[in-house]
Structures are given as structure tokens and as C-alpha cells.
Amino acid sequence: MSAAVLEQETVEHLSSLAEEIDRPDDAEMLEAVREIAQGPLAAIVDDIDRGLYPKEIMQQLGEVGAFRAQLAGLPGGASYAGAIQAIAEVSKVCASTGFLMWCQISCALYLERSPHVEALQDTLLELVTGEAMGGTGLSNAMKSITGIEENRLKARPDGDGFIVDGMLPWVSNLGPDHHFCAMAEVQTDDGPRELMFLANCQDDGISLSPCPTFSGMEGTATLGLGFSGHRVPARNIVAWPARPYLASIRAAFVLLQCGIGWGVIQGAIDSMREVEASLGHVNRFLDDQPDALQAELDAIVARVQKLAATPFETSNAFFVDVLKVRGEAAELSLRAAQAALLHQGARGYLMKSAPQRRVRESHFVAIVTPAIKHIRKEIARLQALG
């Protein structure tokens, strides 16, 4: 199915949602997101860093429209720039919660762009309003498609559905009643093909297991996800075969992540400015200064916003541009977070300090799929294709 046909069918199916939910005005939505981020979220950010899952905050973000700015078929059209900035506003305070937003919005994205969106529409409505939570289990699949590792999920046909077995070692934004999307490999007469499907953590044949303690991002409800004879009914098939569908969402999927890096960088710059009055006389000898970092961030944001105007462009050249800006955001996150710690000195080395937390958050931005090394590998592959 062509991207143009998919776009039209998506808009037609989602037009009925306009009667049930409103597409938020970007300015009003972003102001409400800032109030949540700087108020109730800031009050519990240390608890989130130590493992608290901020479900109530996520529900509040859903109520103010942070999970539906990107929806097509609603009055005013989709605003990917607004969705990315909402993630950034939250990530500036807490990248764990910003990442959870990305998981939630991405899960909705998969359903929205599915050629079977009509069958998935009830779950989509729950996700974009924050009534239900959703995770994204595509890290392993994305690495498998680019030859980095083997797909850990295997599926076989079963009537009009599929049976899935396997294990994903870590998937985020999961809980006993959470939805998620994942992708399994199916052996066919024409070779391996990918199946993308929707499931719920309460479904038969699905189990959750704890992960080892990470150095950061502990409040992201990241769990191991096991499949043992799990049956995917026809109504839960997001895409089959999935590769042509993936080409239509890959840029949007990666662009949305830029909001996490944007927020971490801006938060780090803000922390540097906090101590300019008292430590500027000595901090001026450090390599990275807030004004210069702000200029670099502003340039990245401008590129992200331009790309976000056409998030479903499918050309390799466009995707290379998306990967480049995502990679640069990750690299600048590392620099900015370390610079903030150096500017704040001993106070930035305290375990509960924002600079200390952002150093660990920036490491996550650099390694989460697509990681910096994954991005560079994929850029090289795509550029070799010409």
C-alpha cells in the first residue's frame, strides 16, 4: 500500500475521532504541559529517578492533550512540532517522564498509521487521551532489520492470526494493564517477514519480569516481556507484512525522540546559567559556555521543526537528515550535561542534583534505539545506496 493511500485511509478513519476528542491548540497545550512539568513533576523528580513510575503525571499530560497533538484527521491537522516540543518541556525537568511520553505517543503513532486503524481505533482513543498507557517494543526489531542483532520474537500463522513466542529483555512504559506494540519474525516461503502487532500485558501467553537496576531512568517502568504461545488475533494486527509500513513511520518515530534530547540539553544550559552570577568568573575558563551551547541547540531545534512539517516523507535522503539531527542531539546532550556538572562544581556532583541526573539521562539519549552507533551505521548504509 502506498504512503499516499495509507495517509488518506488514516485520515478518513480518524475523522470520526474528532467528535470524541479535540485536537489541542499548541500554545495552550504547551503552557499546560509546562505547568505540570514545573509543578507536580518537579516535586517528585528525585523519586522518579529512584524508580517511581509517574502514572498520575502521565494521565495529567494526557488530559491536557500532550498525547494527541500529532493526530491526523482532527480539526487543525497534525502538529508533530507541537508533540516534540511537549516532550522537550517535560524532559527539561525529567527525561524519564519525557521518554515515557515518547513511548506513549509512539504507540499511538503505530496504531494511527496502521492500514487496520479502524479495528484499532478504540485502543488508539484510550492512548491519546491518557486513559490507558502504551509501550513500544520495537528496539530489538529495529536492530534486527539493520543487521545489528537477531529478532528475538518468532511468530507462526494460526488461522487468521499468529502465535508468538520469545523474549524482549527490556520494554518501557509497561504495567499490568498497559498496551504495547511489538514486531515478530515470521518464516514464509519467500523468506522471513515481519509482523507488527498490538497486545496488552494482561493477555494470555504474556509475562512481565523485572530488569537489572539501571544507572538512570529507573522510573520508566522498563520490564522484560515474555511470550509463550501468545495468540495475536486478526483485530490486533498492526501491519503484515510490516516492512513497507515501517518505511512510512520511521522518520516520525525517530523525530519524536529528538524532544528528549532537546529537553535534556535545555535543562543543562539552564543549570549553567543558574550559577553564572556566582561562578561565572571562573567558569569562563571552561570549554563549553551556555550561550554557545544555546546557539547549537537552537540550530538543531530549527532543523527538527522543519523536518517535523513532513514527518511521513519516505525517501532515504529525508531519513538520513532525520538520523543526522537525532544523532547530533544525542552528542550535544552528552556535552551539555557534562558541561552543566562542571559549571556547577561540587553542588552538581550531589546525587540529587539536576546536573548529576542529566549526566545519566544524556547517556540514555546516546544509547537508546537508535543509539549513536546505530545511527551512524544506518546513515552509512543509506548513503551507500545513493
How far apart (Å, rounded) are the C-alpha atoms in residues 67 and 121? 15
- pLDDT on residue 3: 47
The CATH number for 220's domain is 2.40.110.10
Task: Say if strands 179-188 and 134-137 run parallel, antiparallel, or are unpaired.
Answer: parallel
Q: Are residues 84 and 177 in the same domain?
A: no
- For 282, residues 6+ apart whose C-beta sits below 8 A from its C-beta are none
236-283: pLDDT as tens digits = 999 999 999 999 999 999 999 999 999 999 999 999 999 999 999 999
Q: Are residues 164 and 229 in the same domain?
A: yes
The CATH number for 315's domain is 1.20.140.10
pLDDT over 70 percentage in the chain: 93
DSSP secondary structure string for all residues of 213-266: PPSS-TTS--EEEEEEEEEE-GGGEEESS-HHHHHHHHHHHHHHHHHHHHHHHH
Say if residues 226 and 205 touch (Cβ distance below 8 Å): no
Task: Read off the pLDDT band of 9 (50, 70, 90).
Answer: low
How far apart (Å, rounded) are the C-alpha atoms in residues 224 and 247? 27
How far apart (Å, rounded) are the C-alpha atoms in residues 134 and 175? 9
Supply the mean pLDDT for the chain.
Answer: 92
Highest mean pLDDT among 12-26, 62-76, 344-358: 344-358
The residue type of 114 is S
Count of structural domains within the chain: 3
Give me the mean pLDDT over the 342-348 stretch.
Answer: 94
191 forms beta bridges with 188
- pLDDT on residue 91: 98
Residue 7 has pLDDT above 60, yes or no: no
Q: Are residues 369 and 350 in the same domain?
A: yes
**How many other β-carbons are positioned within 10 Å of the β-carbon of residue 86?**
31
Residue 20 has pLDDT above 80, yes or no: no
How far apart (Å, rounded) are the C-alpha atoms in residues 57 and 308? 26
Task: Read off the pLDDT band of 71 (50, 70, 90).
Answer: confident
- This prediction's pTM: 0.94
The domain boundary residue, chosen from 76, 99, 132: 132
- pLDDT on residue 305: 97
